Amino acid sequence: MKIQLSEHFTYKKLIKFAIPTIIMMIFTSIYGVVDGIFVSNCVGAEAFAAVNLIMPALMIFGSIGFMIGTGGSALVSKTIGEGNNKKANEYFSMLIYLLLIIGAVLTIIGFILVEPISKFLGADENMLKDGIIYGKTIIIFLVVFILQNCFQSFLIVAQRPTFGLIVSIVTGIANMFLDFLFMYVFKMGVFGAALATGISQLIGGVIPFVYFIFNKNGTLKLQKAKFEKKAILQSCVNGSSEMLTNLSMSLVNMLYNIQLMKYAGSDGVVAYGIIMYVGYIFLGTYLGYSIGTAPIIGYHYGAENTEELKNLLKKSLQLIVVTSMIMTLLAEISSKSLASIFVSYDIELWKMTTVAIRLFSISYLISGFNIFSSSFFTALNNGVVSAVISFLRTLLFQIAMIFILPAIWGINGIWLAVVVAEILSFMVSLAFLIGNKKKYQYA
């Protein structure tokens, strides 16, 4: 039986509703990892470093989809909770059409900027060629990548998280198969990796788009809509934390790479790239839960059901505490095996990567709480608080630690930068949750 947003959520219902999104995020991360495995083992460490050097910049262009998806879904969920389904559909349709326009503009800008960005990030002559090929190929598929990111949230609002999971599985399998075909069989190098990713994004963006065009009986359907500045602004403010998170992560990743080129050369960039691929899987659990439960929180906030808000916050925090301990333990135990998957051919690089994973993984104890706290305020349509948490967590604190800690502990200070940043962010998130409990009556 399909679970409705309006229901009272027990632990079982909460997990059951969020699990498709959690699996979707993990699966999406896994096929990203497969990309890295094929590039590293089929093309080499130099090409792997080139891809990871340019990837953060490419993610900046795609982050607009996360902003409109999370911010817009919060607005649409709240509007449905208020009982105005017609207006909710108008908002949804307007935001999708807006993304099509923005995506087309960003594609042109991104295609022009790939080469100068690669040079700015310090790519040497060998890395530059691979970085440009990969970047320009990926940018061609930017519009569907943005839509794919956005539809992850709106499929949950439409109460079709399982359908979203199926789309992600199909997309992931396509990407992994094409990686094997293009890189292992046809020896197409980084171009093959980018093409495989782009085609899979095409699948992930187009299938939900077609679904929402022909969806007759569901909660959301694409229809005629006028652009409303107020709704667009509110969606952008609501989703500013998610946008800021992705922008900050991309910028911080660039700074990590610059520092690592200074302290460890291209091997450091490779090790950090592996950490990011591994981190996508572990953090995907937290992100999936936060995205999956946000429409529930938004609905009950719109319906002014404060008792259910209390219930959702309490149960969510308890689930995150347990999950955080499990995720951290798994990462520590599997660090050697994870490093071996990517760089078993280089013993020194393997040793560096193993240590890096172990130090970096300590952050998983705290990051789940911070990710959920930011998402919780987005769902409450308080984009300002959510953005402050994200800004401090993913940008200010990390940038400070990236430059401070290496001066004290060398390269290990780079791996621990995120740990200290998450601890500082925990204090901020906790302060906001305590400070706003009377306003929203969730505690």
Report yes or no: 232 and 170 within 8 Å, Cβ to Cβ: no
Q: Is residue 181 part of a domain?
A: yes
Hunting for tokens 């305020």 — which residue is that? Answer: 377
Place of tokens 């993984």: 361
Q: Which of 20, 402, 143, 36 is nearest to 248 (CA)?
A: 402
Along the 443 residues of the chain, how does pLDDT read in single tens digits?
567 888 889 999 999 989 988 888 887 777 667 778 888 888 887 888 888 778 878 888 888 888 898 889 989 998 998 989 999 999 999 999 999 999 999 999 999 999 998 888 777 777 889 999 999 999 999 999 999 989 988 998 898 888 988 998 899 899 989 999 999 999 999 999 999 999 999 999 999 999 999 987 778 999 999 999 999 999 988 887 677 777 777 788 888 888 888 888 878 888 888 898 888 888 889 989 998 899 899 899 988 999 999 999 999 999 999 999 999 999 999 999 999 988 888 898 899 999 999 999 999 999 999 999 999 998 998 988 988 998 899 889 999 999 999 999 989 999 999 999 999 999 999 999 999 999 999 87
Is 6 part of a structural domain of the chain?
no
**How far, rounded to the nearest angstrom, does the alpha carbon of residue 385 sit from its chain's CA centroid?**
19
Report phi then psi at 112, rounded to 5.
Answer: -70, -35
4 within domain boundaries: no
Question: Please, is 151 exposed, middle or buried when counting C-beta atoms within 10 Å of its C-beta (0-12, 13-18, 19+)?
Answer: buried
Question: What is the rounded CA–CA span in Å between residue 129 and residue 143?
Answer: 24
Task: Judge whether 66 lies within some domain.
Answer: yes
Does 3 map to a domain? no
Residue 71's pLDDT is what? 87
Give the integer Cα–Cα distance in Å for 312 and 290: 11
Domain that holds residue 110: 11-440
Distance of alpha carbon 114 from its chain centroid, rounded?
A: 21
228 phi and psi angles, rounded to 5 deg: -115, 115
Looking at the 3D structure of the chain, how many domains does it have? 1
Judge whether 130 and 49 are in contact, CB under 8 Å.
no
The number of CA neighbours under 13 Å toward the Cβ of 361 is 25
In sequence order, what DSSP letters do the residues of 417-435 get, joined into one string? HHHHHHHHHHHHHHHHHHH
Q: What is the pTM of this model?
A: 0.76
Whether 206 is in a domain gets the answer: yes
Which of 253, 271, 225 shows the shortest CA–CA distance to 121? 253
pLDDT of residue 1: 52
pLDDT at 31: 67
In a domain, 71, yes or no: yes
Task: Name residue, tokens 């995506």.
Answer: 103
Q: What angle do CA 93, 80, 290 make, to 5 degrees?
A: 85
Evaluate whether residue 382 is within a structural domain. yes
Measure Cα distances from 81 to 51, 73, 289, 314 in Å: 43, 12, 20, 21
* DSSP letters for 3-57: PPTTSPP-HHHHHHHHHHHHHHHHHHHHHHHHHHHHIIIII-HHHHHHHHHHHHH
What pLDDT does residue 233 have?
Answer: 93
On whether the CB atoms of residues 43 and 183 are closer than 8 A, the answer is yes
Q: What is the pLDDT, as a whole number, of residue 317?
A: 96
